[in-house]
Structure 1
Amino acid sequence: MLHDSQTTLLCVPTRFELDRLRVLAPEAVAPERWAGVAVIGFGPVAAAAAVSRLIAQRAPKHLILAGIAGTYGAASEAGSAITFGSVAMDGVGAGEGAAFVRPSTMGFPQWEGKLRDDESAVAAVFDRLDLESEGPELLTVAAAADGSAMLEARRARFPDAVAEDMEGFGVALAAAMGNVGVSIVRGFSNVAGNRDPKTWAIDDALGAVAEWLER
Structure 2
Amino acid sequence: MTAPVRILVATAVDAERDAVARAFTGPVREVELPGCTLHRPAGGPDLLAAGVGPARAAAATATALTAAALGGSPYGLVVSAGIGGGFAPAAPVGSLVVADEITAADLGAETADGFLPVTELGFGTVTHRPPEALVRELVTATKARAGTVLTVSTVTGTAERAAALRARHPRALAEAMEGFGVAEAAAAHGVAALEIRAVSNPVGPRDRAAWRIGDALAALTEGFGKLATVLEGWKPEGWKKA
Q: Find 1:80's aligned residue among 68, 77, 95.
A: 95
Aligned letter for 1:88? T
Q: Find 2:182's aligned residue among 160, 168, 171.
A: 171
Aligned to 2:154: 143
Aligned to 1:9: 8
Aligned to 2:118: 103
The answer as to 2:66 corresponding to 1:56 is yes
- CA offset digits 1:133-170 (Å, max 9, x no partner): 24211111101101101111111121221111111111
- CA offset digits 1:81-132 (Å, max 9, x no partner): 12111111111111279632222322x222xxxxxxxxxxxxxx2x111012
Aligned to 1:122: none
User: How much does 1:197 deviate?
Assistant: 2.4
Aligned to 1:205: 216
Aligned letter for 1:14? V
The answer as to 2:140 corresponding to 1:92 is no
For these two proteins, the number of residue pairs brought into alignment is 195
Residue pair 1:97, 1:153 contacting (<8 A) in 2 also: no
User: How much does 1:193 deviate?
Assistant: 1.5
User: How much does 1:75 deviate?
Assistant: 8.7
Aligned to 1:189: 200
Aligned to 1:128: 127
Aligned letter for 1:140? T
The verdict on how the C-alpha distance between 1:145 and 1:97 changes in structure 2, with shifts beyond 3 A counting, is farther
Aligned letter for 2:17? L
The verdict on how the C-alpha distance between 1:28 and 1:182 changes in structure 2, with shifts beyond 3 A counting, is farther
- Give the distance between the partners of 1:101 and 1:76, measured in 2 at CA: 26
Q: Find 1:41's aligned residue among 29, 51, 60.
A: 51
Match of 2:183, SS state, is: helix
Deviation beyond 6 Å, 4+ runs, structure 1 = none
Aligned to 2:171: 160
- The TM-score with structure 1 as length reference comes to 0.81
The verdict on how the C-alpha distance between 1:143 and 1:84 changes in structure 2, with shifts beyond 3 A counting, is same
Match of 2:42, SS state, is: helix
User: How much does 1:33 deviate?
Assistant: 2.7
- The TM-score with structure 2 as length reference comes to 0.72
- Give the distance between the partners of 1:193 and 1:34, measured in 2 at CA: 35
Aligned to 2:38: none
Residue pair 2:7, 2:76 contacting (<8 A) in 1 also: yes
- Give the distance between the partners of 2:19 and 2:217, measured in 1 at CA: 7
The verdict on how the C-alpha distance between 1:206 and 1:83 changes in structure 2, with shifts beyond 3 A counting, is same
User: How much does 1:198 deviate?
Assistant: 2.5
Residue pair 1:92, 1:102 contacting (<8 A) in 2 also: yes
Instruction: Pick 1 or 2: higher relative contact order, CA cutoff 8 A, min separation 6.
Output: 1
